[in-house]
Amino acid sequence: MSVETVTPAGPETAARPMDLLRFATAGSVDDGKSTLIGRLLYDTKSLFTDQLAAVEAVSAARGDEYTNLALLTDGLRAEREQGITIDVAYRYFATPRRKFIIADTPGHTQYTRNMVTGASTADLALILVDARKGLVEQSRRHAFLCSLLRVPHLVLCVNKMDLVDWSQEVFERIADEFTAFAAKLDAPDLTVVPISALQGDNIVSRSENMTWYEGPSLLHHLERVHIASDRNLVDVRFPVQYVIRPQSTTVTDYRGYAGQVASGVLKPGDEVMVLPSGFTSRIASVETADGPVAEAFPPMSVTVRLEDEIDISRGDLICRPNNAPVVAQDIEAMVCWMDETRPLQVGGRYAIKHTTRSARAIVRGLHYRLDINSLHRDESAGELRLNEIGRVRLRTTVPLLADEYRRNRTTGGFVIIDEATNRTVGAGMIVDTA
């Protein structure tokens, strides 16, 4: 070989056996959210000196009295000029146990849209409150959106404990109030941690200023919170993404269904049903580019081959005969509207993307609009504007293969697209199918 390339002899698996946790942060700059993220990045050595130097230089030039860590994530020109955060920013750090992806959602502009986006893929949501102020309207709104999006784990960080004299009483009052509120929301696993992001208390290691607190530090919790059982390993749902049919002389008669396992476990020999046709067959093999595997489970991307030749194409779904999603054209869903130009209106027609399936839909009804601060239902509402949430009835042109969102985030969620502008204008979570 004439070309000089290097193939180093890597160890069998150089990757540490570490898993992945995605979390969303909610709170405004005033709550110390950027300071907290900066602290997590810094203390896990994920913040680089050139990034820090750039932020220090810009802070100094702007006359900020302290290094404004918000500048780390506010990367866009308009954000720095206006001092606001426009969009969800993704940040990365890792410890030997876990890799973390932070979806950092801004507290001010377009709040709901960004929070819903960040929460949609999150295993955990981190909500910040200022210990001096306690729970505010925004904290309740954050908690509600996390529960709507079914984020499995919630962490409330009571920040700025240094400014309330590390008071156990203050902390417990806020923790109790939030726990009571979260119970009403059917919120899942909840942990409350007293912290000082500025001084680093209870971030990486336990605080010496709050010896009364017996729980874990924030990072300790993030590293160890058990997320493996959040995945649904019971209901087999395999949306077909793409049919692999090599046009090749060496591989002939190959037909495989490529996709990512949404839930359940698929094994060779399993009896399966294909929707919407209802045909049944057995799994002949489950394959990856590295060879066949004994079983596939979420979030693996694999190729499934069946024993029988049946007509299957993108948008179809493989499940088990005795455990199938509904095949429905009438959908009841909670919809969060995300478009500033035009509201959702009854009678409106849109495109829908649900799993790997696309359809058109007409809005048949708007039952109510939800006030996300009071949870009051306004049944007289005629439309949903930007950042508003309501319960909507849709009729689709082709059936969706759907589960309730609370059972399955993949087969229960969909996006709404404006057919004229192609913009993503809404997010839907299926509550019922009829």
Partner 1 sequence: MTAPAAYQVSHLDALEAESVFVMREVVAEMERPVLLFSGGKDSIVMLRLAQKAFAPANIPFPVMHVDTGHNFPEVLEYRDQRVAELGLQLVVASVQEALNRGMVRESGDGMRNRIQTPVLLDAVEKHRFDALFGGARRDEEKARAKERVFSFRDEFGQWDPKNQRPELWSLYNGRHHPGESIRVFPLSNWTELDVWHYIARERLALPSIYYAHEREVIERDGMFYAVNEFFRPRAGEERFKAQVRYRTVGDASCTAAVRSDADTVEKVIEEVAATRITERGATRGDDRVSEAAMEDRKREGYF
> Contact, 237 vs 317, CB < 8 A?
yes
Distance in angstroms (rounded) separating the CA atoms of residues 161 and 171: 8
Closest approach, Cβ 262 to partner 1, in A, equals 9
- The CB-of-320 to partner 1 minimum distance in angstroms stands at 17
Q: Which is nearer to partner 1, 247 or 380 (CB)?
A: 247
SS3 242: strand
> Whole-number minimum distance, CB 103 to partner 1, in Å?
10
CA distances from 202 to 124, 225, 306, 338 (A): 18, 16, 52, 36
d(CA 218, CA 202): 6
Q: What is the DSSP letter of 398?
A: E
Decide: 296 and 266 in contact? Cβ < 8 Å: yes
To the nearest whole angstrom, how small is the minimum distance from the Cβ of residue 47 to partner 1?
8
Q: Judged by CB, which is closer to partner 1: 115, or 328?
A: 115
Task: Select 48 or 212, whichever has its Cβ closest to partner 1.
Answer: 48
Question: Cβ 5 to partner 1, closest distance in Å?
Answer: 4
> Which residue, 253 or 309, is less far from partner 1 as judged by CB?
253
Beta bridge partners of 393: 332, 365
Class of residue 19 by CB neighbours under 10 A (exposed 0-12, middle 13-18, buried 19+): exposed
Q: Measuring CA to CA, which residue among 224, 225, 226, 164 is closest to residue 195?
A: 164
Long-range (24+ apart) CB contacts under 8 A made by 386-389 are 386/110, 386/113, 386/337, 386/338, 386/339, 386/340, 386/343, 387/110, 387/111, 387/112, 387/113, 387/336, 387/337, 387/338, 388/112, 388/336, 388/337, 389/112, 389/148, 389/334, 389/335, 389/336, 389/337
Name the minimum Å distance from CB 84 to partner 1.
11
- Compute the least distance from the CB of residue 413 to partner 1, in Å: 5
Dihedral, CA of residue 384, residue 337, residue 392 and residue 405, to nearest 10: -160
| Cβ nearer to partner 1, comparing 202 with 387 | 387
Nearer to partner 1, 101 or 163 (CB): 101
Give the residue with the Cβ less far from partner 1, 244 or 398. Answer: 244
If residue 180 lies in a helix (H) or strand (E), which one and from where to where? helix 168-184
Q: Nearest approach, Cβ of 421 to partner 1 (angstroms)?
A: 9
Q: Closest distance between partner 1 and the C-beta of residue 183, in Å? A: 23
Closest separation between CB of residue 367 and partner 1, Å? 22
Choice between 23 and 166, CB closer to partner 1: 23
CA angle 337, 71, 217 (to 5 degrees): 85
Measured from the CB atom, the residue of 76 and 183 that comes closer to partner 1 is: 76
Transcribe 291-302 into DSSP letters: EEES-B-TT-EE
Q: How many whole angstroms separate alpha carbon 368 and alpha carbon 362?
A: 17
Nearer CB in complex with partner 1: 10/347? 10
